[in-house]
Amino acid sequence: MRQYAKCTVFFVASLLATDIARAQNGGQEFAQIERGRYLTVMGDCVACHTADGGKPFAGGLTVETPFGALISPNITPDPATGIGNWASADFLRAMHNGVDPAGHHLYPAFPYVYYTRVSDQDALAIHAYLETLQPVVNKVVSNQLPFPFDVREGVAAWNEFNFVPGLFRPDPKQTPEWNRGAYIATGLAHCGLCHTPKTASGGDDNGHYLQGATLEGWYAPNITGDKRTGVGNWSLDEIAVYLRDGHNSIAAASGPMREEIENSSSKWTNDDLRAIAVYLKALPGQDRTVEPVADDTPTMQAGWAIYVDECSACHMRNGEGVPRLIPALKRDPAVQQDSAVSLIRVVVQGAQSTQTMHAVTGPAMPALGWKLSDEQVADVVTFIRNSWGNAAPAVSASDVKAVRADLARRGG
């Protein structure tokens, strides 16, 4: 309660400051809106706040959570069904504290856990941009969770364990570029939402920050500077290009990361791309030694036979693929993650890679699940995870069976 009061004072003060700033710098409103548009792209708000085939930002997308479904609200400036009635202070409170103007908790599917790091200036710019959108009348009842999760007050308890509010604080020991990257990654880009594993209560397991996590039937890989499983072996350029194009000379993005790139990071400035590359690469790796599965095992022998017959025409015998067309498997961190869920999924049902302005090709992998048994999928995936210098835990037939069942449940 005291916390809240302090915040209120702080917010009112900053609001006044902002209004004064606006009044004095009327000509900067265009600049603020343009910056807000850029930051909105960076935060990828449109991805969650737009239903399939719906109007942008008008809400209606069902978001899967471990506790049930939520439907994203309408954040166009419609006064009745959107956020048109929100004052700047309301918007800041939502972003920084996960609370709506009536004081109700927002569910952390809205990543205020990350957006709390976003500066007032940036948050207000986003608000200013959103206020320029065409208001759309679309009443959304967000809360679709089953009892007891539909009781919003429960979030307060969740926040106690999992939410540390507060603006981003630059690290004076780091370069401005690193700090910019950290600001983006821990804030608007909310990388941890996907890439950090979750605790039982669904909060971030910060002991394994950005070391990879499973969600929506995919495994979001490790993006620390680990040399085997993270981006440690990639140059800063390769990391930046990957985020901009969805392809670099080694890897190709598909699945939810594809959407992130197409909607968001493909439109960032080169400086911002480089900054986040600096930040991620500098995150210490875990440097675990993993013994590769031996070549002369039955698994690897079968995997080799499948690979040479089915996979090498695209991924090549030497595992190097075709730069910017077919991902390499050799030394590709995506191939060596602790969890092989993404690999299994791609082998079973195929995948389409990203199409962006600088990488228009959008090559796709055909589905193989119809012709390979669970054991065969397991063996070829184990093979690629342990060849050409790769090393990663073997995959079993039951792992594959579980992924297929999960995909079937999801309707895929």
Partner 1 sequence: MTTYPSANGVSRRALLAGTAAALIWTTVSRARTVTGKLPWEANAGEPPQLVHPGPWVFFSPEEGASIEAIVDRLIPPDAQFAGGKDAGCAVFIDTQLAGPYGSSEGLYMRPPFLAPTPQQGDQNPNTPAQQYQRGLAALDAYVKKAFVGKTFRELTEEQQDTLLKGLETGRVQIDGVNGSVFFALVLKDTKEGFFSDPVYGGNRDMVSWRMIGFPGARYDYSDWISRHNERYPLPPVSIGGRVDWTRKG
Partner 2 sequence: MARKLPAKDVVIIGLGWTGSILAKELTDAGLQVVAVERGPWRDTATDFSTAYVQDELRYRIRHDLFLRPAQDTLTFRNNARQTALPMRSFSSFMLGNGVGGAGIHWNAESFRFLESDFVLRSHLTERYGAKMIPENMTIQDWGITYADLEPYYTKFECMAGTSGTAGNIKGTKQPGGNPFEGPRSAPYPTPAQAQPYGPALWAKAAKELGYSPFPQPSGNLSQAYTNTYGIEMGPCTYCGFCEWFGCGNYSKSSPQVCILPALVRSQNFVVQTNCEVTRVNLDNTGKKATGVTYVDASGEEWEQPADIVLVCAFMMFNVRMLLNSGIGKAYDPVTNDGVVGRNFSYQTWSTVTGLFDNQNFNPFVSSGAIGYCIDDFNGDNFDHSKLGFFGGGYLGANMTNGRPLQASARVPKGTPNWGAAWKKAVADNYLSSYEFNQHGSCYSYRTNHLDLDPTYKDRFGRPLMRMNFDFDQNELRMAGYLTDRMAEIVQKMGAREIQKYPRTGPYNVSQYQTSHTCGGAVMGTDPKTSVVNKYLQSWDVPNVFVVGASAFPQNAGYNPTGTVGALAYWAADAIRTQYIRNPGPLVPV
Q: Residue 325 binds which one of partner 1, partner 2, none, with CB within 5 to 8 A depending on kind?
A: partner 2
Q: Residue 404 binds which one of partner 1, partner 2, none, with CB within 5 to 8 A depending on kind?
A: partner 1
Nearer to partner 1, 350 or 393 (CB): 350
Q: Residue 331 binds which one of partner 1, partner 2, none, with CB within 5 to 8 A depending on kind?
A: none
**Nearest distance, CB of residue 312 and partner 2, angstroms:** 8
Q: For residue 364, what are the β-bridge partners?
A: 352
Based on the shown chain and the rule CB under 8 A, indicate whether residue 225 belongs to the binding site for partner 1: no
Based on the shown chain and the rule CB under 8 A, indicate whether residue 253 belongs to the binding site for partner 2: no
The neighbour count for residue 325, using CB atoms within 10 Å, is: 13
Based on the shown chain and the rule CB under 8 A, indicate whether residue 326 belongs to the binding site for partner 2: yes
* Residues in 74-133 that interact with partner 2 by CB under 8 A: none
Based on the shown chain and the rule CB under 8 A, indicate whether residue 376 belongs to the binding site for partner 1: yes
Total chain residues near partner 2 (CB under 8 A): 24
Q: Residue 365 binds which one of partner 2, partner 1, none, with CB within 5 to 8 A depending on kind?
A: partner 2
The mark string for 371-400 relative to partner 2 (x by CB under 8 A, - otherwise) is x-----------------------------
Q: Which two tokens stand for residue 60?
A: 């209606």
**Nearest distance, CB of residue 342 and partner 1, angstroms:** 13
Based on the shown chain and the rule CB under 8 A, indicate whether residue 412 belongs to the binding site for partner 1: yes
Q: Of residues 8, 199, 352, 398, which one binds partner 1 by CB under 8 A?
A: 352
Nearer to partner 2, 16 or 364 (CB): 364
> CA 79 → CA 50, 60, 91, 131, 364, distances in Å?
18, 17, 14, 11, 43
Q: Of residues 169, 237, 364, 389, which one binds partner 1 by CB under 8 A?
A: 364
Based on the shown chain and the rule CB under 8 A, indicate whether residue 40 belongs to the binding site for partner 1: no
* Residues in 66-125 that interact with partner 1 by CB under 8 A: none
Based on the shown chain and the rule CB under 8 A, indicate whether residue 387 belongs to the binding site for partner 1: no
Q: Of residues 100, 131, 238, 310, which one binds partner 2 by CB under 8 A?
A: 310
Nearer to partner 1, 180 or 258 (CB): 258
Nearer to partner 2, 13 or 364 (CB): 364
254, 353 in Cβ contact below 8 A?
A: yes
Nearer to partner 1, 68 or 256 (CB): 256
CA nearest 94: which of 79, 107, 77? 107
> CA 305 → CA 289, 302, 313, distances in Å?
27, 5, 13
**Nearest distance, CB of residue 305 and partner 1, angstroms:** 4
Based on the shown chain and the rule CB under 8 A, indicate whether residue 309 belongs to the binding site for partner 1: yes
Q: Please report, as ranges, the residues that interact with partner 2 according to CB under 8 A.
A: 310, 313-314, 322-326, 350, 352, 355, 358-368, 370-371
Which residues are at the interface with partner 1 (CB under 8 A)?
298-299, 301-302, 305-306, 308-309, 312-313, 316-317, 349-352, 355, 362, 364, 366-367, 369-376, 379, 401, 404, 407-408, 412
